[in-house]
Chain A
Amino acid sequence: MKPTPLSVAAFAAVVVTCIRAIFFTPLEAVQGPAQKILYIHAPAAWVAFMAFALVALASALYLWLREDRLDRIAEASAEVGVMFTTVVLVTGPLWGKPVWGAYWTWDARLTLTLFLWFVYAGYLVLRGAVEDRALRARYSAVLGILGALLIPFIHLSVYLFRTLHPRPILMKPSAPSLPGEMLTTLLMAFAAFTLLYIALLRARYRYAVARDNAHPPEEYSA
Chain B
Amino acid sequence: MQSANGAVVATEALTRSFGARRAVDGVTLSVGTGETLALFGPNGAGKTTLLRMLGGLLRPSSGKAQIGDAILPGGPEVRGRIGVISHQTLLYDALTARENVEFAARLYRVRDPRDKATEALDRMRVLDRADTPVRALSRGLRQRVSVARAIVHSPSVVLADEPFTGLDVAGAKALASLLGELRAAGAALILVTHNIDEGLGLATHAAIMDRGRLVRHEIRSAVNPSSFAREYQELVSANG
Using a CB–CB cutoff of 8 Å, the interface residues on chain A facing chain B are: 133-134, 216-222
Q: Is the Cβ of B23 less than 8 Å from the Cβ of A222?
A: yes
12 more A-B residue pairs beyond the given contacts A217-B19, A217-B20, A222-B49, with a C-beta to C-beta distance below 8 A: A216-B20, A217-B18, A220-B18, A220-B21, A220-B23, A221-B44, A222-B24, A222-B44, A222-B45, A222-B46, A222-B47, A222-B48
Bound Cα distance A175, B19 (Å): 49
Bound Cα distance A220, B49 (Å): 9
Which residues of chain B have C-beta atoms less than 8 A from A133's C-beta? 19
Bound Cα distance A217, B23 (Å): 13
Q: A50 → chain B, closest Cβ, in Å?
A: 31
Main SS of the interface on chain B? Answer: mixed
Counting from the closest, the 3 A-B pairs by CB-CB distance are A217-B19, A220-B18, A222-B49
Nearest A residue (CB) for B50: A222
Q: Which of A133, A134, A219 has the most CB of B within 10 A?
A: A219
- Chain B 30-45 interface residues, beta-carbon cutoff 8 Å to A: 44-45
Using a CB–CB cutoff of 8 Å, the interface residues on chain B facing chain A are: 18-21, 23-24, 44-49
Which residues of chain A have C-beta atoms less than 8 A from B47's C-beta? 222
Q: A172 → chain B, closest Cβ, in Å?
A: 51
Bound Cα distance A134, B19 (Å): 8
Q: Is the Cβ of A134 less than 8 Å from the Cβ of B18?
A: yes
Question: Can you identify 25 A-B contacts, CB atoms within 8 angstroms?
Answer: A133-B19, A134-B18, A134-B19, A216-B19, A216-B20, A217-B18, A217-B19, A217-B20, A217-B21, A218-B19, A219-B18, A219-B21, A220-B18, A220-B21, A220-B23, A220-B49, A221-B44, A222-B23, A222-B24, A222-B44, A222-B45, A222-B46, A222-B47, A222-B48, A222-B49
Bound Cα distance A216, B18 (Å): 10
Q: B99 → chain A, closest Cβ, in Å?
A: 31
Q: B43 → chain A, closest Cβ, in Å?
A: 8
Bound Cα distance A219, B23 (Å): 9
Q: A19 → chain B, closest Cβ, in Å?
A: 48
Which residues of chain B have C-beta atoms less than 8 A from A219's C-beta? 18, 21
Bound Cα distance A219, B24 (Å): 13
Which residues of chain B have C-beta atoms less than 8 A from A218's C-beta? 19
Which residues of chain A have C-beta atoms less than 8 A from B24's C-beta? 222
Bound Cα distance A127, B45 (Å): 30
Which residues of chain A have C-beta atoms less than 8 A from B19's C-beta? 133-134, 216-218
Which residues of chain A have C-beta atoms less than 8 A from B23's C-beta? 220, 222
Q: Which of B18, B45, B49 has the most CB of A within 10 A?
A: B18
Bound Cα distance A217, B46 (Å): 17
Which residues of chain A have C-beta atoms less than 8 A from B46's C-beta? 222
Which residues of chain A have C-beta atoms less than 8 A from B48's C-beta? 222
Which residues of chain A have C-beta atoms less than 8 A from B44's C-beta? 221-222
Bound Cα distance A219, B211 (Å): 13
Bound Cα distance A220, B17 (Å): 9
Nearest B residue (CB) for A220: B18
Nearest A residue (CB) for B49: A222
Nearest B residue (CB) for A133: B19
Bound Cα distance A222, B58 (Å): 12
Q: B182 → chain A, closest Cβ, in Å?
A: 26
Q: B152 → chain A, closest Cβ, in Å?
A: 27
Q: Which of A217, A218, A222 has the most CB of B within 10 A?
A: A222
Q: B172 → chain A, closest Cβ, in Å?
A: 25
Q: B100 → chain A, closest Cβ, in Å?
A: 26
Which residues of chain B have C-beta atoms less than 8 A from A217's C-beta? 18-21
Q: A93 → chain B, closest Cβ, in Å?
A: 45
Bound Cα distance A150, B240 (Å): 51
Which residues of chain B have C-beta atoms less than 8 A from A134's C-beta? 18-19
Q: B14 → chain A, closest Cβ, in Å?
A: 13
Bound Cα distance A30, B178 (Å): 88
